[in-house]
Amino acid sequence: MLNNNIHESKNLLDFYKNILGKDRYKILFELVPGLNLIRKYKDTNFPKTQIIQIIRYLQLIILRFEVFEFLYLKNKPTRGNNIENKRQNKDFNEMIAVISIFSKKMLKICGYNERFLQILEQFSCILFFKAKHEEVFIKYNLDNEVKSMKEFKEKPFIFQNIFLNIFDDNFMEEVERSEFFNVFKNTKSKKTKKSD
């Protein structure tokens, strides 16, 4: 599909980024933390293999969204395309959680710093709990974390080389101090120790 010309790979990457820029996908940028950074990211001076990996994730995001939309409208044609109805749908919440994982993987390929990626991983986990384990979502009052997620997406970002700097370090520290983040971090470190 892609030949050896790196220029064609970059054009294809821009093509998929432009597709995601359509109004149809606007909801994803409202709900998936970090996804807006992929669309704004301009530095594509990576090897062709990395560009192709990003393209594959963009294709998966579009596919996952379109499959959900098709099945949702097929099964619930009278409800229409209302965001509030969709947010009550477990399949919709699962789709958002999966897309947030794809988003994090793309940002990792782009070279974003580990601290930022950890925060995105926490948010992906919260979205997963909302979709699959509502009892955990309620137990830890993760609605507050979702509000932090919305605030996180609205923070101003700058790029230096290919690393992300966040102006508001206090916000990052506040997220890292949250009860859920600490449980998440401890669980993750226990799993790492077991695998060693």
pLDDT 10s digits, 38-69: 877 766 677 888 889 999 999 999 999 999 99
Average pLDDT, integer, range 27-36:
86
Calculate what percentage of the chain has a pLDDT beyond 90: 22
Round to whole Å and give the CA distance between 126 and 133. Answer: 10
Residue 23 has pLDDT above 80, yes or no: yes
Evaluate if residue 126 carries a pLDDT over 60. yes
The arithmetic mean of pLDDT across residues 134-148, rounded, is 75
CA 116 to chain centroid, in Å, comes to: 12
The pLDDT confidence band at residue 158, using thresholds 50, 70 and 90, is: very low
Closest CA to 61 of 123, 106, 108: 106
